[in-house]
Structures are given as C-alpha cells and as structure tokens.
Amino acid sequence: MALDATDLSHLRRCVELAREALDDGDEPFGSVLVDGEGRVLREDRNRTKDGDQTRHPEFELARWAATHTDPADRSGCTVYTSGEHCAMCSAAHAWSVSDASRMPSPPTNSSAGSASGASGRRPSSPCRSSRSLPVCGSTARHPSSRPR
C-alpha cells in the first residue's frame, strides 16, 4: 500500500507523540486514529512508565473507539502508529477498531540507536520479551461443557 502526503502527515504526528513519550520517560510510541473521511478522532502516546503495561497508545485508541464510536464507523478507521503493534495491541484492533493499520518500517539494527534518544533506552517488544505465565489447563470443566 503506497503512502500519500496525508498518510505521511499522520505518521509524522505519531513520531512527534513518540518523542513526547520519550521526553516524559516512557518508551517512544505514538498513534493516531483517523476516521474514514480522514479526520483525526484521537491520538495518544505510550504511558507505561507508571507500571500499567497495557497503556500502549494503540490499545488506548482501541479502547476509546470501542466506547465512543459506532461499530459501522469504526470499520473504516485507520490507526497510524510509530512502530509495529505488539500482540496485545494487534488483538485489540482486530477485535474492536479498524480495517487497516499503517506504520513506518521498524528501524534496522544500524539505526535503532538513533530512535532511542538521549536516554539510550530502546523500545521493547512485549510480544518478544514477555514473561512466562504458567497455565494449568483442563483442571475443571465449565458447566456448559457437561454432557446433557
């Protein structure tokens, strides 16, 4: 999908939001939600520094859209973002927001350092560095699974 001048403008805003997040001590991610007519509905930046790791901008926009927009309108929305969605944000958008998500290419290893800013921190990818959660499956049956 080719990006036009409007797409690039929204992506530049995502990068500005990512810079704001980094300047505030968060990881550098920013996102913009645009309706089918090209109007900006909402924008946000990463807000995970205080401990709530679900405060990704893409997730916040999905949550906002699910509450404040009609489902028929959501299907035409586009989410622009400064980096690749993690698994959590991808799922949130698949279930609740848009047909499309546009983002610039993630930085290569050679340029990743420049994206980390003065703090030297690089954005983490929760889906690649998540912690292990023990799962004990099939220990109890749900009432609906009982034979009738």
Q: Is 84 a catalytic residue?
A: no
Q: Three-state secondary structure along the chain?
A: CCCCHHHHHHHHHHHHHHHHHHHCCCCCCEEEEECCCCCEEEEEECCCCCCCCCCCHHHHHHHHHHHHCCHHHHCCCEEEECCCCCHHHHHHHHHHCCCEEECCCCCCHHHHHHHCCCCCCCCCCCCCCCCCCCCCCCCCCCHHHCCC
Q: In this structure, are strands 40-45 and 30-34 parallel, antiparallel, or unpaired?
A: antiparallel
- Phi then psi for residue 18, to 5 deg, are -60, -40
- Residue in 27, 43, 58, 60 annotated catalytic: 58
Active site residues: 58
